[in-house]
Amino acid sequence: RDRRAVEYTLYDKELRRARETLDDIEHVRSEGCKELSILHEEARMAHDAIRTVEARMKTKTNALRRNRVYLQEMERDKTEAMTHRTKVELECKELEEGIKTGKDIIKANKRKIEELNVEIAKVTKELEQNVGPKCDSARETLTHTINERDEARKKMEGLYAKQGRGQQFRNKRDRDAHLRAQIKELNETKKEKETFLVHSQEKLSNLRRSVTTDTSSLEKKTTDVTKKNSMLESLCKSIEDKTKERNDMAEARKEQWRSLEEINEQTNEARDASKRALSDMRKIMPRATAMGLDALTNIVEEERIVVGEQYFGLLLQNMEITNPKFETAVEVAAQNSLFHVIVDTDHTAARLMKRLEKDRLGRVTFLPLNQLHVDKARYPDSSDVTPLLSQCIQYDPRVERAMQHVFGKKLLARNVDVASTWSARCGMDAITLEGDLCSRKGAMSGGYIDLSKSRIRAHQSLRSSEERYKTLEDQRLEMQRKATAVDQQVSNLMAEVQRLEAKRANLEHIINRTDDEIVVIQKRLDTHNSQLKKTETEIIPPIHVETRSLDSQIELLEEEMGTELSDTLSEEEQDMLKQLKKTQSDLEIEMEKQTHTLEEISVERERLQSLLEDNLLKKLRELEEENSGTSSLGRRSKGKSAAENTAAAMAKRQEDLEQRQRELIDATKASEEIEAKLNEAKKEDGGLRSELIAEKNELEKLKLQDMNNQASLEKAQENAEKLLNKRSMCVSKRELYMRKIQELGSLPPTSELSTFTSLSITALMRQLESTNKKLKKYSHVNKKAYDQYVNFSEQRESLLKRKEELDRGAEKVKELVESLDRKKDEAINRTFRGVSAHFKDVFKELVPNGAGEVIMRTALDEEGADAEMEDSDESDEEDAQEGKGKGKGKKPKKKKSTKGNMPDPSNLSVNMYRGIGIKVRFSRVGENYLMSQLSGGQKALVALALIFAIQRCDPAPFYLFDELDQALDSTYRAAVAALIQRQANSDENPTQFVCSTFRPELVAVANRCYGISHQNKVSNIHVLSKKDALHFIANLMNEEEAVGEVTSLATTKASRPESGASRSSRKRKAAVKSDEALEEEVAA
C-alpha cells in the first residue's frame, strides 16, 4: 500500500508537471502562432511595400529619363532660341543702321533736289525765254529767206528757160508741147508731194493715236502696279501672320508631342502593370482555366454571343464585396468557383465548350442559369451568424441563381465555435472573417491565409489596372488625335504659307513684268512724241512749201503757153531778171548770216536741252524716286542703289525693323520661357534624383527589414519545431504516467496519500526505492488481495447502477439500430441496383456484342452450392443415402430457387447477403461465364467495367490508372479509351483521368501527354505533343515485337503444348471454384 501510495504520488506529480509543461507549451505555442502570423503579415506587407517602392522607382526612373530627354530638348530649344534672338538682334541693328544711313541719304538727296530744281529752273528759263524763241525766230527767218531765194531762183530759171526756148524751139507749137510736157511732169511731182503729204498726215494721226493709246495703257498699268503693290504688301503681311501662326502652332505641337510622349510612358507603365496583374491572376488559377478564359473573349465575339444577355462573364466579375473585411470569408466560401463563367442557357455553354474542345483552348466551368435549381435556404435567426450572400455581396439580379448556387448555403459566423455549432445544426458551411471554414459535413479548415494569393484582390488589382490602362489609353488616343490635328494645322499653315509665297512670287513676277512693260511703253511713247514733233515741224511744212513752189511754176508755164515765141526777153522781163539776180545774191548773203546765227543758237539750245534732259532731269527723277519710292519692287530689286536708297526701301526697312523688333520681343519672351522651363526641369530633375535616392534608401531598408523578417520567420519556425518536439515528449510522458496510474489499480485511501503529498519527486524516488526493498521480503504474498476486494465491491455497486442505465438505453439503442439497419438495407439495395444497372451499360459500351450483370450472392446460394458439392463428392451408398435424406428436406427447394427464379435481393434481409458475383458473355449468343472462367484480359475488362459503373453511381473527382490496358487487346483498349473520353467530357459528371500507358489508344484520346524519363537516379516529367507520344509508343511496340519474336522462338523449343485433359481439368476446377474465392477475386 505504501508503494502504491508512493508510486501514485510520484506518477501524479510527474503527470501534473507534464500537464503544466504542456499548458505552458500550448500557451507559448499560441503566442508563437500569433507572433508567426504577425511576422507573416509583416513579411507580406514588406513584400508589398518593396513592390510598391520598386514600382514607384520605375515610374520615377521613367520620369527622370523623360525629364532628361526634355532637358536635352530644352537645351536645344534654348540654343536655337538664343541663336534666333542673336540673329534677330543683329538684323535689327543692321536695319537700324540701314535706316539711319537711308535717312542721311534722303536728306542729302533732298538737298541735291533743291539744287537741281534751282538749276533746272534756270536752264528752263533760259531755254524758254531766250534761246528757244531766238532759235525758233532764226529758223523761221532762215526758212522764209530760203523760200524767197528759191522762189527768185525759180523765177530766174523760168525766165532763162523762156529765153532759151525761143532759141530751142522753131515754132510756138513745139514750145507749147514742151511746156505741156513740163506742166505734166510738174503736176506728177506735185501729186507725189501731195501723196507724201497725205501719208505724212496719216502717219501723224497714227502717231497721235498711238500716243493716246500708250498714255492710257501707261496710266492703266501704273494703276495696276499700284494696286498690285498694295496687294503685295497685304500678301506679305498675311505671310508674316501665317508664319507667326505656324511658329506658334509648331511650339504647341512640340508641347503636344512632349505630353503625348509622357502619356505614352504612363500608358506603357499601366499596360505593364495590367500584364503583371494578369500574370498574378493566372498564377492563382489552374492553367487550363486561364487558357480557357483567355480564349473565351474571342470565341464570344466570333460566335456573336450577346454580352450581358447570353454571356455574363466570371462569377467574380458579377459581384461586388460590400466591405473589404469580408474578402477572406467570401474567397474561402467560393474557392475556384470565383472563376466559373455564367451563361444564360446550357445551349450557350455547349457552344462555347464545343469551341474550346475543338480548338483545345483550355477548360472552363460554366454556370447555365436555366439549369441551376437552387432550393430556398432557411437561414437561422441568430446574432452570431448571418447569410454570407446578403451581408457581404452585391450582384446583378439577373445572375441571382448563380450566386445562390455558390453562396446560398454559406453562413458568416462570429468565431470558430459558433461556426462549428451552426454548421452542424443548419447543414450549411460556416465561415469566419479570418477564413476558418466549418463544413456542413463536419470538416474544418483554416489557419494562416496568404493574402498575396487572394483571388479577389488579384481580380481587383487586375480590374483597377485595366481601368487605369483604359483611361490612359483613351487620354492617349485623345491627345494623339489632338496632336494629329495640330500636325494637320501646321501642315495646312505651311501649305498656306507656301501658297502665299508662291502667290507673292507670282505677283512680284507680274509686277516686274508690268514694270518692264511700263518702261517699254514709256520709251515707245517718248519715241512717238519725238516722231510726232519731227513730223509736225520738219516734214510737213517743207512739203507745203514745195507744193506752193510747184503751183507757181505750173502757173508760170501755163501763162507762157499761147504767147509768142521769142528768143529774147522783154525789157520788163529783163528788169525783172536783174532784180531777181540781185535779190538772189542778197538773200544768199542773208542766208549765210542767218544760217550761222541759227547754228550757234541751235548748238546752245541742244546743249541746254541735253543738260536738262540727260543730266538734270534724270538726276532729279532718280532722286525723287529714291525719296518718294515711286519705283516698283521689281525695279528696286534690279539696282543696288535703288534698293538701298529709295523711300520705299526705307519704308520696307522700317517695316522689317518693326517686324524684327516684334520677333525680338517674341524671341526674348520665348527664350525666357524656355529658360524658366529649363530651370523648372532642372529643379524637377534634382527633385527626382533626390526622390530616387530616398526611394533606394527606403528599398534597402525594406529589403533589410524583409531579411530580418525572413530570419525572424526561420527562427520562429525553429522555435515552433522545438516546441512541437518538446510537446511530443511531454505528451509521451503524460501518456506514460497516465498508463502507469491506470496500471496501479485501486488507489490507497486519501489519508495514506496525504503522507507523501508534501514530498518532492526526488524524495519520492528515494521513498519508493526504500519501499521496494522492504517489499522484497513479501514477494510470495498477494499484496493486492484486499485492494482488489475493496475495488471490486465498489465496482459491483457502480456496475449495478450502470446496468440499470444501460438497460434503459439498450431499448433505445435497439430502436436506433433497427432504424439504421433499415436505412442501411435501403442504401445497400439502392447502391446495388445502381451499380448493376450502370455495369450493364458500361459493359455493353465496352463489348457491344456482349452482356454482363452483377448478381447478389446470398446464404441460400451458398447452401445450394454446398449441396451440389456434396452430391458430386459422395462415393459410397451410405453417404449417398445420407445425402438423399438431406436432399429430401432441403436440397430440392434450394435447387429450385438456385436454378429457377433467382430470389429478389430487395426482398431478402441484408444479413443474408454474402457478396456479389459477375456473369458476362462476350458474344450475342452463348453461355455466361463467371470471373474464374475468364482470361486475364477479360478479367481486367470486367474489373474496369465495375470501376466505371461505381464511378457513374458515385462519381469521384479524378481517377489514377497505372497501365490499365496492359492485359487488353487492341479492340478492348480502343473501347476503354473511348469510354474514358466520354466519361471525361460528360456533361453530367465530368471526371479527370490520369493514366500511364504504353499503348497508342489512350494516347490518341488524351488531352495532355507527359513523358517520364529516369536519368541519374532522378525522374523527370516532360510535356509531349500527341504526335511525339504516339511516335514514342510506336517505337516501343516495335522493340517489344522484336523481343517477343526472339523469346517466342526460344520458348517454343523448350515448352510443349498442354494436353486437352489438363485444360479440361483446369476448366472443371475453375467451374467448381468457391464463391468466396470469386468474391475475393472480384474485390481484388
> Could you read off the pLDDT of 177-236 as tens digits, one per residue?
887 888 888 888 888 888 888 888 888 888 888 888 888 888 888 888 888 888 888 888
Per-residue pLDDT tens digits for 847-868: 888 888 888 877 776 665 555 5
Residue 299 · residue 352 · CB < 8 Å: yes
**pLDDT tens-digit map of 502-556:** 888 898 888 888 888 888 888 888 888 888 877 877 777 778 877 877 787 787 7
Burial 718-739 (b: 16+ CB within 10 A, else e): eebeebeebbeebeebbeebee
What is the percentage of the chain residues whose pLDDT exceeds 90? 0
Cell of 622: 532718280
Which amino acid is it at 960? L
For residue 336, pLDDT beyond 70: yes
494 burial type by CB count under 10 A (0-12 exposed, 13-18 middle, 19+ buried) = middle
- Could you tell me the CA-to-CA distances from 955 to 350, 352, 374, 918 in Å, in that order? 22, 24, 21, 21
The pLDDT of 413-420, averaged and rounded, is 80
Q: Which helix (H) or strand (E) holds 554?
A: helix 540-560
Q: What is the pLDDT of residues 648-678, one digit of tens each?
A: 667 777 777 887 787 788 888 888 888 888 8
* 616: nearest Cα among 126, 214, 136: 126
SS3 of residue 918 by DSSP: strand
608-662 pLDDT per residue, tens: 878 877 787 777 777 776 665 544 434 444 444 444 445 666 777 777 788 778 7
* Residue 844, C-alpha cell as written in the block: 455493353
The pLDDT, as a whole number, for residue 883 is 42
**Helices assigned H by DSSP within 744-760:** 750-757
CA distance 974 to 981: 10
Between 710 and 452, name the one with better pLDDT.
710
- Consecutive H or E run containing 1018: strand 1018-1024
Over the stretch 558-581, which tens digit does the pLDDT of each residue have?
Answer: 777 777 666 666 777 778 778 878
- In this predicted structure, what is the pLDDT of residue 908? 60
pLDDT for the residue numbered 1009: 92
pLDDT given at position 838: 85
Using an 8 Å Cβ cutoff, are 566 and 131 in contact?
A: no
**Residue in the structure block whose three cell numbers are 456484342:** 849
Cα–chain center distance at 954: 49
764: cell is: 519520492
Q: Given pLDDT bands bounded at 50, 70 and 90, which one contains residue 753?
A: low
C-alpha cell at 908: 431478402
Look at 840 and 769; give whichever has higher pLDDT: 840
Return the pLDDT at 318: 86
- Give yes or no for a contact between 101 and 649, defined as CB atoms under 8 angstroms apart: no
307 pLDDT higher than 80: yes
The secondary structure of 600-643 as a DSSP string is HHHHHHHHHHHIIIIIIIHHHHHHHHHHH--S-HHHHTT-HHHH
Cell (9 digits) for 732 = 509521451
The per-residue pLDDT for range 455-514, each reduced to its tens digit, is 788 888 888 888 888 888 888 888 888 888 888 888 888 888 888 888 888 988 888 888
Please give the Cα distance from 387 to 401 (Å, whole number).
16
The pLDDT of residue 121 is above 60: yes
Amino acid at 101: T
Whether 888 shows a pLDDT value over 50: the answer reads no
Q: Confirm if 186 and 558 have CB atoms less than 8 A apart.
A: no
How far is Cα 828 from Cα 512, in angstroms, rounded to an integer?
119
Q: In this predicted model, what pLDDT tens digit does every residue of 761-816 receive, in sequence order?
A: 787 777 777 777 776 766 666 666 766 777 788 888 888 888 888 888 888 888 88
Helical (H) or strand (E) element with 366: strand 366-368
- Reported as a single tens digit per residue, the pLDDT across 914-925 is 788 888 888 777
Question: CA–CA separation, 356 vs 354, rounded Å?
Answer: 5
| Residues forming a β-bridge with 343 | 311, 368
Percentage helix, strand, coil for the chain under 3-state DSSP, each rounded to 5: 80, 5, 15
Q: Which of 26-30, 583-587, 1038-1042 has the highest mean pLDDT?
A: 583-587
pLDDT in the model for residue 660: 78
822-842: b or e for each residue (b if 16 or more CB lie within 10 Å)?
A: eeebeeebeebeebbebbbeb
Q: Are 915 and 831 in contact (CB under 8 A)?
A: no
Residue 885 has pLDDT above 60, yes or no: no
In the predicted structure, residue 891 carries a pLDDT above the cut 50: no
Q: Of the candidates 930, 938, 951, which has an alpha carbon nearest to the alpha carbon of residue 1079? A: 930
Produce one character per residue of 611-648: b if its CB has 16 or more CB atoms within 10 Å, e if not. Answer: bbeeebeebbebbbbbbebebbbbbbeeeeebbbbbbb
| pLDDT above 70: residue 760 | yes
Grid cell at residue 1004? 490518341
In the prediction, which pLDDT does 221 show? 87
Segment 738-760 mean pLDDT: 70
What is the rounded (10 degree) CA torsion for 969, 973, 976, 982? Answer: -150
pLDDT tens figures, 370-415: 888 877 778 888 888 888 888 888 888 888 888 888 888 888 888 8
The C-alpha cell that represents 868 in the structure block = 451440389
**β-strands 992-996, 311-314: how paired?**
unpaired
The whole-number pLDDT of residue 994 equals: 92
Handedness of CA 858, 863, 864, 869 (dihedral sign): positive
pLDDT per residue over 1017-1071, tens digit each? 788 888 888 888 888 888 888 887 776 655 555 555 444 444 343 333 333 333 3
Q: How many helices (H) and strands (E) does the chain have?
A: 28, 16
Reading the block at residue 824, the C-alpha cell is 442501411
- Average pLDDT taken over every residue of the chain: 78
Name the nearest CA neighbour of 547 among 202, 201, 189, 179. Answer: 189
Q: Point out the least confidently predicted range of 37-41, 754-758, 909-913, 1063-1067.
A: 1063-1067
CA-based end-to-end distance of the chain: 57
d(CA 513, CA 526) in angstroms, rounded, equals: 20
The pLDDT of residue 313 is above 60: yes
Query: What does the block give as the cell for 1028?
Result: 511525339
